[in-house]
Amino acid sequence: MEASVDQYILSREAKHAMLESRSDAVRKDAQLSCDKADFCRLNRDRLVNALMTRGHEPTPDQVQRIFQNEYFRAITEGAFARSQ
């Protein structure tokens, strides 16, 4: 499960280079990806536990959906602040 979290973090961090894009939309997407990577790094243990409670090895799509839901839930609850 730890590998799933690490792989997700790496995939989000891969967009870091796009923060320098001339396109506003690309920069915003890259910033969101970097914020998600930061969130997952800070909440790694909790996310691993969330995956383990499922009782089976999740697919990459399930991992992405679970982490996406956790990220936006934390934003809504004020437990994590996005970069501007």
**Rounded distance, CA 13 to CA 9, Å?**
6
The number of folded domains in the chain is 1
Q: What is the full per-residue pLDDT of the chain (84 aa) written as tens digits?
A: 788 889 999 999 999 999 999 999 999 999 999 999 999 999 999 888 888 887 777 888 888 888 999 999 999 998 888 776
- Report the pLDDT value the prediction gives residue 28, as an integer from 0 to 100: 95
Domain carrying residue 69: 2-77
Residue 82 lies in a domain: no
Residue 84 lies in a domain: no
Residue 42 lies in a domain: yes
Helix/strand/coil for 18: helix
Residue 18 lies in a domain: yes
